[in-house]
Amino acid sequence: MQKRQLGQGLEVSALSLGAMGYGRARDLPDRADMITLMRKAVERGMDFFDTAEVYGPWTNEQMVGEALAPVRDKVKIATKFGWDIDQQTGEHRGGVNSKPAQIRSSVEGSLKRLRTDYIDLCYQHRVDPEVPMEDVAGTVKDLIAEGKVRWFGLSEAGAGSIRRAHAVQPIAALQSEYSLWTREPEAEIIPTLEELGIGLVPFSPLGKGFLTGKIDVGTQLDASDMRNSVPRFAPEAREANQRLIDLIRRIGENQGATPAQVALGWLLAQKPWIVPLFGTRKLERFEENICALNLVLSKDDLTEIAAANIEIRGDRYPEEHMRRVGL
């Protein structure tokens, strides 16, 4: 699989597999299938995997650790700290907590659950407005010096926080939502990353499934589906946003590619230091997505997408979650 450089010398496969949707419940019926999928991803050349302490909490890291332990020397594992999780019980108390003692406790727990002596890329999951960014970066800097962490990252942080953290401990990657229907990072974040030499790992590159072209205004989501709370998935928003799907489907048909491949190919064409992070529970979808690496969108394709200037309807998070991004 093709490789890409993030910041600070971190080289990874050009696509990353996110495990957020795996192993979040102890009785997950297809847990064994998810472990198999991750191992097959390694066989196909992927070496960059993403999890977080809060997914579960803890059950996701445990599963990722089990899946990747036999191939630990072949992969790079990213995980995250920063939510207020009781380090004894695993209770997620809501809100954020990036106090230095909490960071250290979170990292120690992640190391055990991931069955490893070091974390390749350790992100702060959300900025904690109560803890100076210099203290957060300084704590991670110490963990790097101790060999417990190799690279530092931030998630959904604003440009000011990125600069403050980077001045203390150089950042390898920012993880934030960026896709054909989430273009806000282009205004300030991407120029900041380019200036500082930081890579971007965009999550939800397929718009939580919408950019695959398999969801329309008539699609019935399961009552437990978190997308029911996302304004962008309201029926009227889905109907308005179908214009984007029509565009990428037309471009894909000319290229012999699926809408998902066009969406990933567009991201890969933006900057050489962008590594899209997707999630899937099915091997066939994994195979479809990695074939985006073979898709080369033409200058005319990229110009057509840019010229369409399609306005996306609806926020990407519920209001209370939007307040936690860009700090």
Q: Could you tell me the domains of the chain?
A: 3-209+261-296 (3.20.20.100)
User: When comparing pLDDT for 224 and 277, which is higher?
Assistant: 277
In the three-class reduction of DSSP (H, G, I as helix; E, B as strand; rest coil), residue 108 is classed as helix
* 49-70 average pLDDT score: 95
136: Cβ contacts below 8 Å, ≥ 6 apart: 98, 100, 103, 124, 128, 165
pTM for the complete prediction? 0.96
**pLDDT above 60 for 307:** yes
Distance (Å, whole) CA 137 – CA 153: 9
Q: Which two tokens stand for residue 54?
A: 């809060």
pLDDT of 70 above 80: yes
For residue 72, the model assigns a pLDDT of 98
**Each residue of 114-134: pLDDT tens digit?**
999 999 999 999 999 999 999
pLDDT given for residue 29 in this prediction: 73
Q: What is the pLDDT of residue 23?
A: 61
Which sequence positions are flagged as catalytic?
55
pLDDT of residue 21: 77
Lowest mean pLDDT across 20-34, 47-61, 86-100 = 20-34
Please say whether the beta carbons of 124 and 153 come within 8 A. Answer: yes
- Residues 128, 83 contacting (CB under 8 angstroms): no
Q: 26 or 230: which carries more pLDDT confidence?
A: 230
Residue 27, pLDDT score:
60
